[in-house]
Structure 1
Amino acid sequence: MTDAQQLFDYARKQFTEIADDVERHFEQVAGQLREWMPADTPFARQLPVPKRLPPPTTLQIVQRWISRHKGLSAAAIAFLVTGSIGTFIYIRNNGSKRKRRARRSASGARTDVVVIAGAVANPITSGLYLDLERRGFVVYVVANTSEDEQYIRAQSRIDLLPLQLDLVDPCTAQDQVARFRALLERDHHAFDGAEPHRLLMAGLIMVPDTQSMPARIEDISSEEWSDALNAKVLNTIATTQLFMPSIIEHKAKVLLLTPSVTPALRPPMHAIESTTYGALEGFSASMAAELKQDGVSVSQFKLGNIEIPSVTIKQRREGVPQPRLKGTPLRVLHDSVFDALVSQRPSRTFHVGRGSLVYNIIGSWMPPTIIGWMMGAGRKPEVVQNARDEAMQSSQGSLTWERVEQEA
């Protein structure tokens, strides 16, 4: 063995002894520390808690069951879909076929009173008050002129009566409404010896005629603006104010019927119609908020394309081409109005008529440029002055109030 090898073995032996001494020293120190430190100190080493998988959720259980029973799941889903559709159709058919009749007293007399204010000769208005009278209501139609009163009496209905209301003279109008309130407050007898009963105001229905012929803003005179706002907006507001005490006392429903297709799209050449519709919608929203604390509900009917038999017959006789898509039958509007009058909590908004809800969504969410492109922006419609003057002078100009004019 050489001297170098002996030196190397000696160095390795010394290194091993030093390492063993250091390891024994650290073990001794660690043992002393474990004896000195308590077990609940944060420095004490704790064994890790074994992880447990959380229990499966309901969704996971359903997904696992569906994956194991695919055939049965498909059959169950098909059964639910077809059953839901069949149930919806059944309920809808029963709802349309069920008889809707107003309440009567013990003696068989009519007790519910409905007041309708609007264009008397308008097909929507006339069809509405005739239908409500057939369903058993005592219907009072607001007549602002002697011509309106004669038109209502010409219908020859016992419980369809004109209610004179002079909106030009506020004092006279208040006296007329006071006589109407006295009629509701006194006892009535259906026949001699019958039990007395009182009339109950079921609702006030307002059908303002917001239709106007297409015209550019610079072509509309200030007199036309004044007449339109007075006849379509101010008269509606004044009529509602006069009947407000009776509405609050009897908890009557307030219904506002307005066309919604053209105002929702806001096309050019319809400034008067869009302005009056916006004013009436704002008035309805404010009135609903105020009357809510009195327990009175206000509903707005947004009307779309409604097929009116009398208008359809007239158009066929005049050779007007029929649209490809038929409108909603007028009976649907009558049923919706009746349901709103007798419901405890009617909806705030009713969409009746083809296109009412769709065009409302389009007008609220789509950009104006796209709506203008859909309406054919850039084309100048031809406005016939004679037809425009005739429509502004007669309520018959609202025969097509539920359709978007082709000129727009």
Structure 2
Amino acid sequence: MSADDQAFLDVLSSVPNDIRRYSNDVADYVDKHIEKAAGVLREALSSAQWIPESARPSPPPAPKPLLKSTMMPGTSMYMQVHSWVMRHKIWTTVIVFAVGGVTYHIIKRNRKHKKRRARRAGNGARLEVVVVAGSPSEPLTRSISLDLERRGFIVYVVCNTIEEEMQVQNESRSDIRPLMINIVDPSSAHASIDRFLIHLQTPHAAFQGARPHHLALRSLIIIPSLTYPSSPIATLSPSTLSDLLNTRLLNPILTIQTFLPLLTTPAASHSHSTPAKPSVLLLTPSIIPSLSPAFHSTESTIISGLTSFARVLSAELSPLDIPVTHLQLGNFDLSSFTPKNQLQTLHSQRAETLQWPEGARQAYGRNFTTLTSGRGVGSTFGRGSSLRELNDAVFDSMTSNKSGIVRVGQGARIYGFVGGWVPRGLVGWMMGVRSTGSMRTSGAGIVRSEEGSSRSISPGSSGLSDSEYIDLHGYSKSEDDS
């Protein structure tokens, strides 16, 4: 077979394929126009009024918008992402939570390994001074003082007595020094503050021949006592209330008032290595004040007063660019400073209960023992957070230059939420507080007998018998049955 014959056969073999392709194109063209005409006819008939509604065809469905044809070149990626998110909402939620968790973990790890050191002079001398106003025997005062000294601060602990000064000197740290201030005597306190200001403004040399430098007050840290007695309001004596209000509430307020002239006066205005305006930190417990449980009236009252005072102080010092930070503390592990004897604590609570009057012991004894023992508030705290978390929070609050409330420690946030949103009756029930029902008393009161008559009991009378009781609701048992 010649080459011409082969070419002729190839042309003949391609004819069916061409015919099929052309016929398909013609069919598609005809179908397209027929479908379009049918749609136009259907739309016209659906809107025709002369056709009965039952026989009138429904209008053709609206064509779906084509995203690819309507997307602008500059927003194509955004539209694709938006379309994918709308189609895969569950996967989008999972991805958002995963990315958020990883981000939070990375930020927390970076904050944990953040370098927290005080500023120093070029020759290594310490420049920043921190004043800690708290009892030297308190575990938090000792922990914060030692930590700030290790970070490069010069720490002055406010002392009111010679015994407290000896406790500070027994720490055997050259940069933890006592600062004697008699808060009760205003003239003596102002004289001590003036001498301390002169000390800050005097040039200091790290060693002989070194360049002199000036000290600057970095922060004032107020640490009231964190231990409060637990007792019913009925058994609190006036002397105990007066002593607690003076030592736990009035003493921190007077301390801040005494240091206010020093806070508003830059100790070294010509020094550019440290900020001129110091900060104020107030540390208070938060778990008991948030819950306000029974038998903790003194702690709840005093901490509420300090909280209100911190808000007012922040409002007054905010125009002066002096930040006031209120650290609300949770539970911390203080075993390294004050090992506790749980058995001895339980025995002391029972001994205190036996000293109450008979009526108070019958009314509050069972709930008090439950609330202050293994089933009560103390059992819900656990071991507590590490003191390193508190020390890091104190340093960050000192250097943040921002006012506000910082919750730190185990239970500080969760108990704040529980105290603010959970019903108080449920909180008391979870702590073990139960209704005492009908009470017996040997004190003065009105006793209703079984016949419904009432008689008065004087304080010197012998009391009630086993069959007599005081009905808290004001009616006798027979009246309740009727």
Give the TM-score category using the shorter length: 0.7 to 0.9
Alpha-carbon contact 1:210-1:259 (below 8 Å) kept: yes
Alignment partner, residue 360 of structure 2: none
Alignment partner, residue 361 of structure 1: 417
Structure 1 segment 219-258 matched on structure 2, within 5 A: 219-250=235-266, 251-258=277-284
Query: How far did 1:319 drift?
Result: 11
Matched, 1:120 2:136: yes
Alpha-carbon contact 2:155-2:177 (below 8 Å) kept: yes
3-state SS of 2:336 partner: helix
For 1:357, the aligned partner's letter is R
Alignment partner, residue 390 of structure 2: 333
Deviates more, 1:167-176 or 1:363-372: 363-372
Structure 1 segment 120-199 matched on structure 2, within 5 A: 120-199=136-215
Alignment partner, residue 230 of structure 2: 214
Q: How far apart are the structure 1 equivalents of 2:99 and 2:420?
A: 34
Q: 1:84 to 1:363 in 2, by over 3 A?
A: closer
Alignment partner, residue 309 of structure 1: 335
Q: 1:80 to 1:139 in 2, by over 3 A?
A: same
3-state SS of 1:307 partner: coil
Q: What TM-score do the two structures reach when normalised by structure 1?
A: 0.72
Matched, 1:65 2:81: no
Instruction: Give 5+ residue unaligned stretches, structure 2.
Output: 1-64, 267-276, 347-373, 437-482
Q: 1:158 to 1:63 in 2, by over 3 A?
A: same
Q: Deviations over 1:330-371 (max 9, x none)?
A: 1000001011112232x5011111111111122122332222
Deviates more, 1:362-371 or 1:260-269: 362-371
Alpha-carbon contact 1:106-1:195 (below 8 Å) kept: no
Matched, 1:350 2:406: yes
3-state SS of 2:413 partner: helix
Q: How far apart are the structure 1 equivalents of 2:86 and 2:237?
A: 72
For 2:392, the aligned partner's letter is D
Matched, 1:262 2:288: yes
Q: 1:78 to 1:218 in 2, by over 3 A?
A: closer
Alpha-carbon contact 2:279-2:401 (below 8 Å) kept: no
Q: 1:323 to 1:90 in 2, by over 3 A?
A: farther
Query: How far did 1:287 drift?
Result: 0.3
For 2:388, the aligned partner's letter is R
Q: How many residue pairs are counted as aligned between the two chains?
A: 322
Q: How far apart are the structure 1 equivalents of 2:86 and 2:181?
A: 71
Q: Deviations over 1:349-403 (max 9, x none)?
A: 11111111111122122332222222333368xxxxxxxxxxxxxxxxxxxxxxx
Q: How far apart are the structure 2 equivalents of 1:151 and 1:312?
A: 15
Alpha-carbon contact 2:119-2:126 (below 8 Å) kept: yes
For 2:299, the aligned partner's letter is E
Q: How far apart are the structure 2 equivalents of 1:297 and 1:104?
A: 22
For 1:268, the aligned partner's letter is A
Alignment partner, residue 20 of structure 1: none
Alignment partner, residue 295 of structure 1: 321
Alignment partner, residue 279 of structure 1: 305
3-state SS of 2:158 partner: strand
3-state SS of 1:310 partner: coil
Q: Deviations over 1:81-115 (max 9, x none)?
A: 43432332233223212331111012211111100
Alpha-carbon contact 2:221-2:282 (below 8 Å) kept: yes
Instruction: Give 5+ residue unaligned stretches, structure 1.
Output: 1-52, 381-408
Alignment partner, residue 99 of structure 1: 115
3-state SS of 1:184 partner: helix
Q: How far apart are the structure 1 equivalents of 2:345 and 2:112?
A: 32
Q: How far apart are the structure 1 equivalents of 2:117 and 2:236?
A: 46
Structure 1 segment 54-93 matched on structure 2, within 5 A: 64-67=83-86, 70=88, 78-93=94-109
For 1:340, the aligned partner's letter is S
Query: How far did 1:123 drift?
Result: 0.7
Query: How far did 1:266 drift?
Result: 0.6
3-state SS of 2:199 partner: helix
Alpha-carbon contact 2:183-2:258 (below 8 Å) kept: no
3-state SS of 1:129 partner: helix
Query: How far did 1:127 drift?
Result: 0.7
3-state SS of 2:319 partner: helix
Q: Deviations over 1:301-340 (max 9, x none)?
A: 1111111232575459989999694421110000010111
Alpha-carbon contact 1:210-1:276 (below 8 Å) kept: no
Q: How far apart are the structure 1 equivalents of 2:264 and 2:181?
A: 20
Q: 1:379 to 1:147 in 2, by over 3 A?
A: farther
Query: How far did 1:219 drift?
Result: 1.1
Q: What TM-score do the two structures reach when normalised by structure 2?
A: 0.62
Alignment partner, residue 383 of structure 1: none
For 2:413, the aligned partner's letter is L
4+ residue stretches of structure 1 with deviation over 6 A?
A: 58-61, 73-76, 316-324
Alpha-carbon contact 1:210-1:277 (below 8 Å) kept: no
Whose RCO is larger (CA < 8 A, sep 6+)?
1
Q: Deviations over 1:18-44 (max 9, x none)?
A: xxxxxxxxxxxxxxxxxxxxxxxxxxx
3-state SS of 2:184 partner: coil
